[in-house]
A = this chain, B = another copy of it.
Amino acid sequence: MDIDGLIDRALEGERVAIARLISLVEDGGSDLGRVMKALYPHTGGAYTIGITGSPGAGKSTLTERLVARARTDGHSIGVLAVDPSSPFSGGALLGDRVRMQSHATDPEVFIRSMATRGHLGGISLATPEAVRVLDAAGKDIVIIETVGVGQAEVEITDACDSTVVVVNPGWGDAVQAAKAGLMEIADVFVVNKADRQGTRDTVRELRAMLELSPAAWKPEIVSSIAIKGEGIEELWTAIGKHRGYQAENGLLDARRKRRIGREIKSIVVASYRQQVEEQSAEQLDGLIEEVAARRLDPYEAAARIRDSI
């Protein structure tokens, strides 16, 4: 593959080239450092919005509507739908993406599901790298939607400039959002499917919990019926407010620097992990037998690998 040509074409915004570079990120191959080096000087222009929440909360529909709203302001947009690696569920995910086809013919919208197929830094390192591809390709808004509400998903959406947490009335109460660790990362809350019973209770519960938070920024709570397009304008405005708040207070730079620090350390550890995977295979088989027989404990086995690398 002509990597340099691919990079040049991605920088010009060519879709096929962007898609192939994101595949390269997913695979985590040896060219990745080189690609990132070439793209990096062209990045920094994109504002990233993370969207997370329970499966079925309506994240995809909200994202689709947000994309439409952002387009009316002339933004060029990238969307990454981040999924745990799961070949078995590929078909189902594809079905979900079909809903995004209202933007399929818009050259200023690039939509892509992504997983990690081999990237040893895992999805939490692969995602910012895929964002960088879109950023360098000229997208000035990048939306990152996750499918779950686990720790990895929290990390991914927390690594955005603004994080939107989607809940439903009766999704469970606000306590469920807190359990999933979402209260701390939300910059904006959306109570989606607000035509259902319990919307007001959920808003009230969220508000009560947010009052306990010591943070200076108080997340807005927006009610929406994404499928009808209701509440999208309010959501877009709330995201804009958070963006403005951060810009005014120099918080965006600080937030991005913390992110860079985490990313650098992740790359350091991932490259070491790569080396462990490559160099330990043979030795590991023997060690597993010893540990399984309880002649050795896992820490001793690990120390032997560490010493040999």
A binding-site residues for B, Cβ under 8 Å = 32-33, 36-37, 40-41, 43-44, 54-56, 83-86, 88-89, 92-93, 95-96, 122-123, 146-154, 171-172, 175-176, 178-181, 183-184, 212-213, 253, 256-257, 260-261, 263-265, 267-269, 271-273, 276-277, 280, 284, 287-289, 291-292, 294, 297-303, 305-306, 309
A154 vs B84: C-alpha distance when bound (angstroms): 9
**In the complex, which residue of chain B has the Cβ closest to the Cβ of A213?**
B88
Task: Write out the residue numbers on chain B whose beta carbons fall within 8 Å of the beta carbon of A55.
Answer: 54, 149, 171-172, 176, 179-180
A308 vs B288: C-alpha distance when bound (angstroms): 31
Contact of A151 among B36, B150, B260 (CB under 8 A): B150
CB distance from A240 to the nearest CB of B (A): 24
Contact of A272 among B40, B294, B297, B306 (CB under 8 A): B306
Are A149 and B148 neighbours in the complex by a CB distance under 8 Å?
yes
**In the complex, which residue of chain B has the Cβ closest to the Cβ of A299?**
B33
Contacts A37-B297, A56-B172 given: A261-B288 contact, CB under 8 Å? yes
Are B267 and A298 neighbours in the complex by a CB distance under 8 Å?
yes
Consensus secondary structure, chain A interface: helix
A272 vs B178: C-alpha distance when bound (angstroms): 32
CB distance from A257 to the nearest CB of B (A): 5
Task: Write out the residue numbers on chain B whose beta carbons fall within 8 Å of the beta carbon of A277.
Answer: 265
Are A151 and B179 neighbours in the complex by a CB distance under 8 Å?
no
Task: Write out the residue numbers on chain B whose beta carbons fall within 8 Å of the beta carbon of A44.
Answer: 294
Task: Write out the residue numbers on chain B whose beta carbons fall within 8 Å of the beta carbon of A273.
Answer: 265, 269
Contact of A36 among B150, B288, B299 (CB under 8 A): B299
Are A88 and B153 neighbours in the complex by a CB distance under 8 Å?
no
Contact of A86 among B181, B268, B288 (CB under 8 A): B181
Task: Write out the residue numbers on chain B whose beta carbons fall within 8 Å of the beta carbon of A300.
Answer: 37
Are B40 and A294 neighbours in the complex by a CB distance under 8 Å?
yes
**In the complex, which residue of chain B has the Cβ closest to the Cβ of A124?**
B151
Are A179 and B83 neighbours in the complex by a CB distance under 8 Å?
yes
26 of the cross-chain contacts (CB-CB < 8 Å) are A36-B297, A55-B179, A55-B180, A56-B171, A84-B151, A88-B184, A89-B178, A89-B179, A92-B178, A148-B150, A148-B151, A148-B180, A150-B150, A253-B292, A260-B291, A264-B284, A264-B301, A265-B277, A265-B280, A267-B298, A267-B299, A267-B302, A268-B276, A268-B309, A269-B273, A272-B306
**In the complex, which residue of chain B has the Cβ closest to the Cβ of A302?**
B267
Are A256 and B292 neighbours in the complex by a CB distance under 8 Å?
yes
Task: Write out the residue numbers on chain B whose beta carbons fall within 8 Å of the beta carbon of A152.
Answer: 150-152
**In the complex, which residue of chain B has the Cβ closest to the Cβ of A267?**
B302
Are A86 and B280 neighbours in the complex by a CB distance under 8 Å?
no
CB distance from A207 to the nearest CB of B (A): 15
Are A151 and B153 neighbours in the complex by a CB distance under 8 Å?
yes
Interface centre among A33, A95, A297 (most CB of B within 10 A): A297
Are B36 and A298 neighbours in the complex by a CB distance under 8 Å?
yes
